[in-house]
Each structure stands twice: as structure tokens, then as C-alpha cells.
């Protein structure tokens, strides 16, 4: 990288091109396609690490949601109407069948 330019060698044709740093940063973030001087398409795809991180975040969010619901059930809160009752199974069989 020199100044505000970054050197990039194209994989398909081997041409070395200097792009503005902000241009490449934007392309990395948006995953938009750009082209080399010879017209070859180039883009930054989501890496395997990014994909797995996103999947892990979703799994954690689901787990946290289920954990919160479980805590409410432990406190005697009905999973249908969320009223707090002493006899949860009796309440569910009477009110929600």
C-alpha cells in the first residue's frame, strides 16, 4: 500500500492494478463486483469464517431465547398467556386445551 492506494494482482490474468484504499474497503464490505482493466469480474465473497461466525451468533441467540423461556417456566409462567400460576400443568390443561 502506497499513500491511499493499494496494489492488487488479478488472479485470472495476472495484471497488477493500483486501486484507492477506500474503493477496495467498500468492495470488501458490500461484496460488490468490480472489474480489472481486462474486463475480468472480481469480488470479495463472504469467507467461511464469516459464515460460521454468523451461524454461531444465530445459534447463541436461539439458545438465549430458549433459556429465557425456560426460566419463565421455572417461575410458573404459562408459555401461552404468560400468567404466573401455582399449578402450571393444571392451568394449561384447563385454559389452553
Asked whether 46 and 35 are in contact (CB, 8 A), the reply is: no
Count of residues for the chain?
97
Instruction: Centre a 10 Å sphere on the Cβ of residue 36 and count the other Cβ atoms it contains.
Output: 19
pTM over 0.85: no
Please check whether residues 53 and 89 belong to one and the same domain. Answer: yes
Please check whether residues 52 and 75 belong to one and the same domain. Answer: yes
Please check whether residues 53 and 20 belong to one and the same domain. Answer: no
Q: Is 12 left (phi over 0), alpha (psi -120 to 50) or beta?
A: alpha
**What pLDDT does 67 receive?**
95
Query: pLDDT band for position 21 (50/70/90)?
Result: very high
DSSP assigned state of 87: S
What is the count of structural domains for the chain? 2
Evaluate if residue 1 carries a pLDDT over 70: no
Task: Tell me the residue range of the domain where 20 lies.
Answer: 5-42
Taking the C-alpha atoms of residue 36 and residue 42, their distance in angstroms, rounded to an integer, is 7
Amino acid at each position: 500500500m502506497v499513500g491511499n492506494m493499494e496494489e492488487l494482482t488479478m488472479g485470472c490474468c495476472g495484471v497488477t492494478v493500483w486501486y484507492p484504499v477506500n474503493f477496495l474497503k467498500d468492495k470488501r464490505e458490500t461484496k460488490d463486483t468490480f472489474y480489472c482493466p481486462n474486463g475480468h469480474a472480481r469480488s470479495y465473497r463472504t469467507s467461511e469464517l464469516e459464515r460460521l461466525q454468523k451461524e454461531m451468533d444465530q445459534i447463541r441467540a436461539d439458545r438465549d431465547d430458549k433459556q429465557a423461556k425456560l426460566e419463565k417456566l421455572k417461575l410458573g409462567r404459562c408459555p401461552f398467556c404468560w400468567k404466573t400460576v401455582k399449578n402450571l400443568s393444571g392451568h394449561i390443561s384447563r385454559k389452553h386445551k
